[in-house]
Chains A and B, each alone.
Chain A
Amino acid sequence: MSENTITNTELKKKEVKLKIIVYLVSVLLTLMILWPIIMMLYEELTVGTVVAGPYGTFIEQEPTRYFLTQHPFRDLAKNWARFTSDHEGMFIGLKNSLIVTIPSTFFTVYFSALTAYAITAYEWKLKVVFDKFIIVVMMIPNTVATVGFYQMVYKIGMVNKLSMLILPTIAAPMTVFFMRMYLQATFSKEIVESARLDGAREFRIFNQIILPMLKPAIATQAIFAFVTNWTNSFVPSIILIDMKVKTLPLIGGGTIWYSYASFVPPIIVYAFFSKHIVEGIALGGVKT
């Protein structure tokens, strides 16, 4: 009995040590990661634009105040007009980025879930082959085929068309694999069969039963898809040439408002979905 307690206290001591180390490392990492971001925000809020002056000197300009003028409420309309005319490019970029990113995210998530469901739920002949095929192609990033994609876009005359950035996202093998992994753990034939007996059509079963079941996987992949598409600059930079169709990463700009425009939407999306972010593939659905 006494021996047992000794080993127990020793174990406890070891555990406490480990606990302290883990807390230290994670808190330090958190600070290390957030520090540059906080510094950036601080600097952008306080320091004005630096402009090259005469004879190799630098002049620090006061940041232009758009909204905090003498009469912020009376001049709101005027200030807003000034702000929009100064940031015309940013608004165009913001609009285009939203036009590309929102449908892309939706397509990636929805069609990947659909494909994953097709693989998991139905016993079709080419199922195994298709499954293996997805595993193979998920390891080949799209960027490898950029030259071919560029030539194709030019040949079919779709330069400057935002749809060329949206439609490819329907096929996202990596997301399909992730969804399939999740669905395999949570899927049960009984639910689908009972829904069929109730007279539900296949599309309805997918939309009303399977999609809610996949919520955590969808939330995770939606965040990743949104961020990836939002910050994507390589392929857009070669097929979007006209100023009017450029997305936000291609425009870039000096003032803080460009930074806000480029990182506030992903943060909103993260805040919206992070509650459902995947915690355990085997959770949810039918319990064993």
Chain B
Amino acid sequence: MQLNKKYTKWGYIFSIPFIIAFLIFHFWPLASTFYYSFCYLKHAGNTNPEFLPLIGKPLFKNFTEILSSVSFKDAFKNTVFFFIASFIPEWILAFWLAATITDRRLRIKGRAIYKTAFFFPKLVEGTTVSVGGHLLSGIATFVGMTAAAFAMDGFGIMPEDLEFFMSVKFFIIALTVFMHFGITFIYVIAGITGIPVEVFEAAEIDGANRVQTFFRITLPCMKPMLFFITVVTIVDGLGMNEIPSYFGAFDTFRRNLTLMMYMQNQAFLGSYAYDRASAASVLLLLMFVAIAAVVYYILLYDKDEAKLRKAKRAERKAMKKGA
């Protein structure tokens, strides 16, 4: 213990680069974005924010403006819809495939090949526009053929029922799953293979089937990784702007507008309303924080540890009183 004390200063020294870079490049922009959301700051290249109450305007003017605009509402709806509709199939597929591929009893071969193949879209992301084009044409052909088959045969399904599968929204979801699936898959595999084999062996001997093993053993054992995957999904899902923007930055019907795109459009593409963009950013930030808090509470919050800490604190207080 005495020996270790000498080295504690290195803990501070080693985290200095992170802290400095964070304060300058992450915290300061975030704080100023928060400040700008209560300011007047319009026109390209304007770097002179004016605090709203000082120029005789209501403090929450930017927020009320945004919240009453139709495009923000649409952007919010679209973002939530895209996020939920893309992450659910992606997660089911990734977790199921990873769990079965890593299953010791099944001995599936070629794990490295699948991993590389699933990750490949991310590697060629620079050319997503043309890759995406081919993917979309493939999906469209498939949907078109299905629609034609139904129209000829008539299972009670009309071509109009398949309209959703021809819409921009469906293409965005398909492309997002296509691009993002590999990342989730790699992390899930990393999480599952990190669990000691003995745990699975014990479960096997106790007669647990695959579903039980997955929900009672695999998931609880990879909690930190699960948290990491969740955060990656949330950050990429709610902050998505690149894939939707392939379908045009300004869609008249706002079918592809996400919150990130809304912010981008407000600030940098045309309107140069930095104040409103900041307000949109703050709302987006609140959304992230709220979801993150829920996820943290579910996955990482240790109730027993918190109880222990509380008990310790009470003990210390009692000691102080006694002294």
Chain A residues engaging chain B, CB cutoff 8 angstroms: 15, 18-19, 22-23, 25-26, 29-30, 32-37, 39-40, 43-44, 111-112, 114-115, 117-119, 121-127, 130, 135-152, 154-155, 167-168, 170-171, 173-174, 176-178, 181, 185, 193, 196, 202, 206, 220, 224, 227, 230-231, 233-234, 237-238, 248-249, 259, 262-263, 266-267, 270, 274, 277-283
- Asked whether B60 is an interface residue with its Cβ less than 8 Å from the other chain, the reply is no
Residue of A nearest to B193 (CB): A280
- Asked whether B11 is an interface residue with its Cβ less than 8 Å from the other chain, the reply is yes
Q: Is the CB of B126 within 8 A of A231?
A: yes
**Which single member of A40, A142, A174, A280 contacts B131 (CB below 8 Å)?**
A40
26 contacts between A and B (CB under 8 A): A40-B130, A115-B18, A118-B13, A139-B295, A140-B289, A146-B29, A146-B263, A148-B28, A148-B31, A148-B33, A151-B36, A155-B47, A168-B26, A170-B17, A171-B19, A202-B10, A238-B268, A259-B126, A259-B130, A263-B127, A266-B124, A277-B186, A280-B190, A280-B194, A281-B225, A282-B195
A206 to B29, CA, bound (A): 31
- Asked whether B292 is an interface residue with its Cβ less than 8 Å from the other chain, the reply is yes
Contact partners of A117 in chain B: CB under 8 A: 14
Most chain B Cβ neighbours within 10 Å, of A145, A168, A266: A145
Q: How many residues of B contact A (CB 8 A)?
A: 103
**Which single member of A127, A167, A282 contacts B25 (CB below 8 Å)?**
A167
Q: Is the CB of A281 within 8 A of B231?
A: no
Known: A142-B26, A147-B36, A151-B47. A249 touches B285 (CB 8 A): no
**Which single member of B11, B125, B196 contacts A118 (CB below 8 Å)?**
B11
Q: Is the CB of A181 within 8 A of B33?
A: no
Q: Is the CB of A234 within 8 A of B264?
A: yes
Q: Is the CB of A148 within 8 A of B108?
A: no
Q: Is the CB of A143 within 8 A of B122?
A: no
**Which single member of A22, A178, A249, A282 contacts B126 (CB below 8 Å)?**
A249
- Asked whether B218 is an interface residue with its Cβ less than 8 Å from the other chain, the reply is no
Looking at chain A's contact residues, is the secondary structure mostly helix, strand, loop, or mixed? helix
- Whole-angstrom distance from the CB of B52 to the nearest CB of chain A? 16
Contact partners of A177 in chain B: CB under 8 A: 228, 231
Instruction: Find residues 102-132 in chain B having any chain A CB closer than 8 Å to their own CB.
Output: 105-106, 108, 110, 112-127, 130-132
Instruction: Find residues 1-31 in chain B having any chain A CB closer than 8 Å to their own CB.
Output: 3-4, 7-15, 17-22, 24-26, 28-31
**Which single member of B22, B28, B113 contacts A137 (CB below 8 Å)?**
B22
